[in-house]
Amino acid sequence: MALQIKVPAVGESITEVTIGNWLKKDGEAVQADEIIAELESDKATFELRAESAGVLKIVKQQGETVPIGEVICEIDANGQAGTAPAPKKEEAAAAASKPAATPAPAPSAPKATGGVKEMKVPAVGESITEVTISTWLKKDGDFVQTDDIIAEVESDKATFELPAEATGILRIVAKGGETLPIGGLICRIEIAEGAAAPAKQESAAAAPAQASGDKTYAAGHPSPAAGKILDEKGIPAGQVAGTGVGGRVTKEDAQKAQAQAPASKPAESKPAAAPAVPAVAGARTERREKMTSLRKTIAKRLVSVKNETAMLTTFNEVDMKPIMELRSKYKDQFKEKYGVGLGFMSFFTKAVCVALKEFPAVNASIDKEEVIFHDYCDVSIAVSTPRGLVVPVIRNAEALSFNQIESEVIRLATRGRDGKLSIEEMTGGTFSITNGGVFGSMLSTPILNPPQSAILGMHNIVERAVVKNGEIVVRPIMYLALSYDHRIVDGRESVSFLVRVKELLEDPGRLILGV
């Protein structure tokens, strides 16, 4: 009796899947646990495995949409796959006259213990509810050792590595690009003992087929994800060389593919056509890129801030001449003693910490129907990276000296640009500082970093004519912007906070003396 293979349940909100590709043909022999098809849902692409050995009978064809639980194929354990024709007498005699090849010694294979380790998404931060599988560094079926890095996982705040929790054979459950909740199943490891069998035997067996020029059924066929990318680019799959198993076109192949210019054809005599509309000068090409998980999460958070807070912005200006003169006078001695440069960020951080102590509501946050007041200053600093904006935190900034703040800023900014920030380094801030002036911004209204209630925006320094002691003088001026949540910060507190920061920056001696 044939075994019926049904569409498995792949998520509580998924009711149907589409058959993206059959990797085995109708009537072909398959082995238990062998991948026979790729199925697509509205959220991810995943593989369908044979539940037993036998002969495959396909029920649903490629491209069909099938409800969860419906029969997709059958496997006949007693069936026979199509047999090859018997060899001719001359070929049989020639084969018999050849000496038998000496079998290579079997490599030591890992010994299965029967145990299975399920690996689930770990808790990576108090405000993080889901992660995305960015990249699998190991393939399905690979032998992995405990603590081997098998995948990279992305949250809305950082990318972190996933180490294997046991030694054995890796069975991937969640595919690359799939989003999982905390606690969701990522993969299984079939626990085994011993070293992995070397891959030389497989490559040696594959060599004759490659040399003879034979191609597998997968050659030139794109994976579902690759197919979508090629369709968007308008590139036929036949133009792309596949680097996957058996010549399969992978997602990476599709992303790298470029449309080929059409081959030149001999001129043909055609009747004279009407004058063509003059071509528009300049290229009019377009390209589409899928939003990264980080970018999508940032977009959601920014929209939620706009919709869920009563955000206002107040402005002021600061005469930066006193700080610039102080830096110019002591920057060489400062760097010689501490090994770091004396930047503006340490002055702003110290000024903010003093003002936050005087106006605690600006350092507070809302938790449902309660307001949480913090007696410490964890200052978040916005850092631009190739992957997007990240906001690492300087812990207990109120207790740090100028050189300690500068060292911490350099450390966090470097780790952010290298993509090495941990979740702990980016959670728990109570107030944020962002510096758009490094990109030339003159004025902006920075958006809040929830659940914080305020953020200070720095801008570029421009020489402007101002009135000092009844005289018009030229001074280096910076505009400051304080965005705040009006639900817990009143206008008086926000304006007074910004004025206090201005006073401290224009008289930096007060910062040093703590007055």
Each residue of 312-325: pLDDT tens digit?
A: 999 999 999 999 99
Q: What is the CATH number of the domain that holds 149?
A: 2.40.50.100
Three-state DSSP class for residue 480:
strand
Say which amino acid occupies 365.
S
Is residue 16 very low, low, confident or very high in pLDDT (cuts 50, 70, 90)?
confident
pLDDT category at 238 given cuts 50, 70, 90 is confident
Which of 178, 193, 208 is the last residue in one of the domains?
A: 193
Phi, psi (deg, nearest 5) at residue 178: -80, 140
- In a shared domain, residues 24 and 151: no
Q: Facing residues of 500 across strands?
A: none
Does the residue 121 lie in any domain?
yes
For residue 3, the model assigns a pLDDT of 85
Task: Name the domain boundary from 33, 57, 80.
Answer: 80
Q: How far, in Å, are 23, 29, 83, 244, 290 from residue 76 at the CA level?
A: 17, 9, 16, 29, 42
**In terms of domains, do 180 and 229 share one?**
no
User: How many folded domains does the chain comprise?
Assistant: 4
- Do 332 and 372 lie in one domain? The reply is yes
Task: Quick: pLDDT tens for 356-399.
Answer: 999 999 999 998 889 999 999 999 998 887 777 788 999 999 99
Q: Taking residues 215-241, report their average pLDDT.
A: 68
Residue 1 binned pLDDT confidence (cut-offs 50, 70, 90): low
Torsion angle of alpha carbons 325, 327, 333, 339, nearest 10°?
Answer: -170
In this prediction, residue 212 has a pLDDT band, given cuts at 50, 70 and 90, of very low
Asked if residue 317 and residue 443 are part of one domain, the reply reads yes
> What's the whole-number mean pLDDT along residues 20-27?
87
Residue 47 β-bridge partners: 38
Which domain CATH number covers 507?
Answer: 3.30.559.10
Query: Is 294 part of any domain?
Result: no
Pair 371, 364: CB distance under 8 Å:
yes
In the predicted model, is pLDDT for residue 494 greater than 90?
yes
Residue 199 lies in a domain: no
Looking at 143, 170, 193, which one is the last position of a domain? 193
Provide CB contacts within 8 A for 187, sequence distance 6+. Answer: 119, 150, 151, 170, 171, 172, 173, 174
In angstroms, the CA 106 to CA 488 distance is 72
Residues in the chain: 515
Residue 229, SS3 per DSSP: helix
pLDDT, tens digit, for every residue of 394-433? 999 999 999 999 999 999 988 888 878 887 888 889 999 9
* Same domain, residue pair 360 and 489: yes
Residues of the domain holding 490: 310-513
Contact 432, 380 (CB under 8 A): yes
Say what the pLDDT of residue 224 is. Answer: 60
Decide if 340 is inside a domain: yes
Whether residue 476 is preceded by a cis peptide bond, meaning omega within 30 degrees of 0, is no
What local confidence, expressed as pLDDT, does residue 277 receive?
Answer: 58
Helix pair angle (321-338, 344-358), 10° resolution: 110
Long-range contacts of 254-259 (CB under 8 A, 24+ apart): 254/222, 254/225, 254/226, 254/227, 254/229, 254/230, 255/229, 257/229, 257/230, 257/233, 259/233, 259/234, 259/235
- Alpha-carbon distances, residue 17 vs 13, 68, 224, 226, 340 (angstroms): 12, 7, 13, 18, 57
Tell me the β-bridge partners of 29. 55
Q: Is 33 considered catalytic here?
A: no
Query: What is the pLDDT at residue 297?
Result: 73
Which amino acid does the sequence have at 368? K
Q: Are 459 and 506 in the same domain?
A: yes
Q: What's the CA angle centered on 317, arms 312 and 318, to 5 degrees?
A: 130
Predicted pLDDT of residue 246? 61
Q: Is 432 contained in some domain?
A: yes
**pLDDT value, residue 229:** 76
The DSSP code sequence of 286-342 is ----PPPHHHHHHHHHHHHHHHHS-EEEEEEEEE-HHHHHHHHHHHHHHHHHHSS--
**Does a structural domain hold residue 296?**
no
Active-site residue, selected from the candidate residues 33, 253, 486, 507: 486
The lowest-confidence range among 88-97, 192-201, 295-304, 355-364 is: 88-97
- Global pTM reads 0.52
| Residues 358 and 487 placed together within one structural domain of the fold | yes
Q: Confirm whether 26 is a catalytic residue.
A: no
Of 199-203, 305-309, 351-355, 464-468, which gets the smallest average pLDDT? 199-203
402-417 helix and 321-338 helix, angle to the nearest 10 degrees: 80
Instruction: Give the pLDDT confidence score for residue 209 in this predicted structure.
Output: 42
For residues 358 and 448, membership in a common domain is answered with yes
Do 501 and 379 fall into the same domain? yes
Residue 415 is assigned to a structural domain of this protein? yes
Q: Tell me the per-residue pLDDT of 117-154, one tens digit each, with 9 for 90 and over.
A: 899 888 766 557 788 888 888 888 888 888 888 988 88
Taking only the tens place, the pLDDT of each residue in 322-353 is 999 999 999 899 999 999 999 899 999 999 99
381 lies in the same domain as 489: yes
Domain assignment of residue 217, yes or no: no
Catalytic residue, from 156, 378, 490, 507: name it: 490
Residue 385 Cα distances to 376, 389, 419, angstroms: 28, 6, 8
Whether 270 shows a pLDDT value over 80: the answer reads no
| Whether residues 151 and 17 fall in one domain | no
Sequence-distant (6+) residues with CB within 8 A of 214 are: none
Query: In the prediction, which pLDDT does 336 show?
Result: 92
The whole-number pLDDT of residue 252 equals 72
CA atoms of 193 and 299, how far apart (whole Å) = 46
Is the domain of 334 the same as that of 243?
no
